[in-house]
Amino acid sequence: MAGFFSLLRRLYLSLYNWTVLFGWCQVLYFVLKTLNESGHQYVYNAAEKPLLYAQTAAVLEILHGLVGLVRSPVTATLPQISSRLFLVWGILWSFPETRSHVLVTSLLISWSITEIIRYSFFGFKETFGFTPSWLLWLRYSSFLVLYPTGISSEVGLIYIALPFIKASEKYCIRMPNKLNSSFDYFYAAIVAMGIYVPGSPHLYTYMLAQRKKALSKSKRE
C-alpha cells in the first residue's frame, strides 16, 4: 500500500513538473519569437495565456509543501509565489497599460529560464530518480544572474504601475460601509515594493546557502 502511494506520488509529481515545464517553454518561445518579429511591446500579449496558467499552477507547490508531498518549506515557496502571482494578476493582468513596457520582456525571460531549469530538475528527479550534473549546476547557479534581473523587473513594473493604480479605484474599499473597513491598493502596492527591500537579500542569501550545500554535496559523491 505504501509502495502504491509512493508510486502514485512520483507519477503525479512527474506529470505536474513536465506539464508546467511545457508551459514555461511556451512562454519563452513566444517571448523570443515576438521579440524577433514584432518588438517588446507585443511580448506580453503573445505569452499571456501560458504565463497565466504556468504561474498560477505554482500555487499547487504550496499545497505540495503543506501536505508533505515535497520537503521544501512553505516559508520559502509562499513569499516567492505570492509575489509572482501579485505581478501576474495584480499588475499585468489588472493594468494593461503596463504590458508594453520593456521590463515585461526582462521579467518573462528571467522567470521562464529559471523555471525551465527548475522544473526540468524536478522532472528528472521525480521521473528518473537522478539529475544530470550540468542540470544541478544550472539549478544552483543561474539564479545568480536571473534573480537580480527578475527582481529588478518585478519592482520596476510595480513602480510603473503605481500611477495607473492610483488613477483607477481598482481593488479599493472605501468607507463608509457596514464593516467599517478600508483598503487602498495604491498604498498596498507601495508596501509590497517595500517588502522587496528585506525580502530580496534574504532570498538571495538563502539560495547561496542552498548552492553551497548542493554543489559541495555533489562534489563529495
* Under rule CB under 8 A, residue 67 binds other proteins: no
DSSP string, 54-95: HHHHTHHHHHHHHHTSS-S-HHHHHHHHHHHHIIIIIIIIT-
Cell readout for 6 is 509512493
E strand or H helix at 157, and its extent? helix 143-167
* Under rule CB under 8 A, residue 73 binds other proteins: no
CA distance 210 to 200: 15
Q: Kindly list the catalytic residues.
A: 147, 154
Of 175, 198, 216, 221, the one binding other proteins by CB under 8 A: 175
Min. distance of Cβ 117 from other proteins in angstroms? Answer: 38
User: How many residues bind to other proteins according to rule CB under 8 A?
Assistant: 8
Residues 6+ apart with CB under 8 A from 41: 100
Q: What are phi and psi of 176, to 5 degrees?
A: -85, 150
* Under rule CB under 8 A, residue 181 binds other proteins: yes
CA distance 179 to 174: 11
Among the listed ranges 21-29, 100-108, 152-160, 171-179, the one in contact with other proteins (CB under 8 A) is: 171-179
Min. distance of Cβ 172 from other proteins in angstroms? Answer: 14
Of 178, 216, 219, 220, the one binding other proteins by CB under 8 A: 178
Of 182, 205, 208, 209, the one binding other proteins by CB under 8 A: 182
Min. distance of Cβ 173 from other proteins in angstroms? Answer: 9
CA distance 141 to 135: 10
Q: Which is nearer to other proteins, 175 or 197 (CB)?
A: 175
What residues make contact with other proteins under the rule CB under 8 A?
A: 175-182
